[in-house]
A and B are shown apart, each in its own frame.
Chain A
Amino acid sequence: MMFVPLTDTESNRYGGPPLMTLTLILFNLLVFVYKPWLWVMFPGQLYRLYGSVPQFIMQEQGGGALASLTSTFLHADIFHLGGNMLFLWVFGRRVEDACGPGRYLVFYLFCGLCADLLSTLMRLEDVVPGIGASGAIAGLLGAYLILFPGGRIRALLLLGAVPTFPRIRAFWFLIYWIGMQLASAFISVYFESDYSVNYWAHLGGFFASVFVVFFLRHESFARFLSSEPV
């Protein structure tokens, strides 16, 4: 059985098209397309320089916060990129609507940095670079859960070889997702396993989403305080 979220079925309340979400997706795609050229510029060192290396951050070497930001736009392969951009589209659109494009961008970068902060704290001496937008996007998932607990998403559910497209509550999917991240993160620590997915970054971004109230529009904040649908 395979489960993939495809789109948010609810419409925007405040703004028009999600320009900032689309811009972020486009920028990530462009960086990915130009990555071979970047590899030539920085032979074998692209991820060490522009990814987030905990040891460099702790020793105050390299770009520090700048490298943390650039790392959110680097992806290892097309599946890494595709998965992240799909989640960005599904869960980012209405969060952007609730925040407005400018504040949404600041919130996205803030979640990316918080993700990197927790990831760094959990592997202080690690020299393996962390890359990918998943930490920042995990922040959007958390914000979605906070702002739209009743939201529904259209998903692809493969039952064997049969594709179905159910409309489900995002709440259940997100609870399942965060549960998996927590379990995987603790398993990776307990068994000291060498993992390729940075679960701690996901958790850092997800928990940073509680700060989303500082980035909401006036109207959406008032609705949020009044326990009305944002």
Chain B
Amino acid sequence: MASDDTLTVAIAAARSGKLAVAEKLLRKVLDDDPGNLAAWVWYSDVTTNLPERIRALEQAIALRPDDPLLQGRIEALRREMPPKEPQQVPAYTERKTGPPTESMPFLLQQGKVLEDRGEFEAAVETYISVKTHSRSPAERVEATRRIEDIHTRLEADKIQRVHPTLNLLRLTTGPVLLFIIMVLMQSGLNPLHTPVLSMLGILSVAAGSLMISVTEMRPVHPRWVAMFGEPGAGDEAEMRKGVRLLGWALLLAPYTMFLIDAGQRLGVLQASVLGK
């Protein structure tokens, strides 16, 4: 297998969590080609030994001295290094066991929350932090995978960001359209025959639909945050429940009154055609 193929397989193994396999393959690549920058960077990600991670990054920096990302990562790792450790760095072929790991699952979770809220840039920052600081190889690989996922979603999909207010108005409109056409049918397709109560019903449906839509917005509408705070903060959850209940009441009341009226009209026709 050529060196490039081996590297590809090693990266795939690292992404699927097979870190020991990835490490072994990367060593083989580096034995064959010590000038392979990508292999040194990936090796620093998959190996569990902190001094060896630093050493791998030093090799990478030697190949690309001006890379600020590599500089930042090595600085972060050096800060975690006990003072005497640099003299005890073993070569990877002589390595025995890695140092105790420091897990950072809370940062991964925070990244996921940010992703759910659509704050992708902040999520990527958080995952980079996990990649740089976590001593758990599994977490570093997970962080790498998530960063790539986000890039894939944002770049490959090229999904436009829709303004929250546009979404809010859009979602409010659906039930209103249904009610308007019902009112039109009920008044013999003549808008001038529409009772005032039905006109008020349209306004009520619009208000109710708006309230329901604003409580269902994900991510939360900025105006809502300005008025009631971040989701889960203080009375926000109670307020959300209250607004949603009021919204449903305003939405359903006109529909109910409308159906009662239509039912009565149907009863009159039924009595006349059935002779009851």
State the A residues within 8 Å of B (CB).
Answer: 42-43, 45, 48-49, 56-68, 103, 106-107, 109-110, 113-114, 116-117, 120-121, 211, 213-216, 218, 221-223, 225-226, 228
Contacts and interface: CB of A to CB of B under 8 A. Distances in A.
Contact of A64 (B173, B218, B265): B265
Interface stretch (B33-41, B94-102, B184-192): B184-192
A213 B171 CA distance: 9
B174 A117 contact: no
Main secondary structure of the interface of A (DSSP, over half): helix
Interface string B133-171: 000000000000000000000000111111000010011
A49 B185 contact: no
Given A65-B182, A120-B189, A49 B266 contact: yes
Chain A CB within 10 Å — which of B161, B171, B218, B269 has the most? B269
Interface of B: 157-162, 167, 170-171, 173-175, 177-178, 181-189, 193, 217-218, 258-259, 262-263, 265-266, 268-270, 273-274
A65 B184 CA distance: 8
Contact of B269 (A49, A110, A120, A225): A49
A58 B273 contact: no
B167 A63 contact: no
Contacts of A58: 188-189
Contact of B266 (A66, A114, A121, A226): A66
Nearest to A41: B274
A66 B188 contact: no
A45 B273 contact: yes
B250 to A, nearest CB: 16
Contacts of B175: 106
Given A64-B186, A66-B263, A221-B167, 20 more contacts: A42-B274, A49-B266, A49-B269, A58-B189, A62-B269, A64-B187, A66-B259, A66-B266, A107-B174, A110-B174, A116-B185, A117-B189, A120-B189, A214-B170, A216-B170, A218-B167, A218-B218, A221-B162, A225-B162, A226-B158
A109 B255 CA distance: 13
Contacts of A213: 170
Given A57-B185, A65-B182, A222-B161, A110 B177 contact: yes
B186 A60 contact: yes
A60 B191 CA distance: 12
Contact of A113 (B162, B170, B178, B259): B178
Given A49-B269, A64-B265, A66-B259, A223 B159 contact: yes
A121 B189 contact: yes
A117 B269 contact: no
Chain A CB within 10 Å — which of B158, B178, B262, B274 has the most? B178
B170 A222 contact: no
Contacts of B174: 103, 106-107, 110, 211, 214-215
A217 to B, nearest CB: 9
Given A42-B270, A64-B262, A226-B158, A214 B189 contact: no
A157 B268 CA distance: 49
A121 B193 CA distance: 17
B177 A117 contact: no
B266 A228 contact: no
B178 A56 contact: no
Contacts of A114: 181
Contacts of A218: 162, 167, 217-218
A49 B177 CA distance: 25
Nearest to B118: A218
A113 B181 contact: yes
Nearest to B260: A66
Contact of A45 (B162, B259, B274): B274
B189 A63 contact: no
19 contacts: A42-B270, A48-B273, A60-B186, A60-B265, A61-B268, A61-B269, A62-B269, A63-B266, A64-B187, A65-B186, A103-B174, A107-B174, A109-B178, A110-B177, A117-B181, A120-B189, A214-B173, A221-B170, A222-B160
A228 B157 contact: yes
A135 to B, nearest CB: 12
Contacts of A60: 186-188, 193, 265
B72 to A, nearest CB: 33
Contacts of B188: 57-60, 64
B158 A228 contact: yes
Nearest to A120: B189
